[in-house]
């Protein structure tokens, strides 16, 4: 599990090429609990990779993953599959085609 910014960057999958926040000043640690990830990238990867990305975001300490339903899986199905790969993170949809 990544415990600092450099380790998180080294461990980061392709969906997160750059850190969302820098380290907490002077500590070298990430404090992401109040932050969430918004991504359109989950539609562009295979389901196992999307699940790995969700689990990785959870390990980093993000509170939630948000995504829009644009292409790919139906949003509620994708939410269920991402939640299956995680333990505590919240998964939300920003846009659902009706």
What are the Cα distances from residue 37, in Å, to 15, 26, 27, 63, 98?
Answer: 10, 24, 22, 8, 23
User: Over 50: is that where the pLDDT of 15 sits?
Assistant: no
Interval 24-62: pLDDT, tens: 556 666 655 567 888 878 877 888 998 999 999 888 888
How much of the chain, in percent, has pLDDT values that exceed 70?
62
d(CA 67, CA 97): 12
d(CA 28, CA 74): 39
Helix (H) or strand (E) holding 19: none
Per-residue confidence (pLDDT) for residue 64, from 0 to 100: 87
């Amino acid at each position: 599990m990544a415990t600092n910014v450099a380790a998180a960057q080294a461990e980061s999958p392709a969906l997160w090429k750059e850190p969302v926040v820098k380290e907490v000043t002077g500590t070298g640690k990430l404090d992401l609990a109040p932050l969430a990830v918004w991504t359109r990238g989950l539609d562009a990867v295979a389901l196992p990779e999307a699940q790995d990305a969700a689990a990785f975001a959870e390990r980093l300490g993000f509170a939630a993953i948000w995504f829009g339903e644009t292409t790919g899986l139906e949003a509620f199905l994708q939410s269920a599959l991402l939640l299956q790969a995680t333990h505590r993170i919240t998964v939300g949809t920003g846009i659902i085609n009706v």
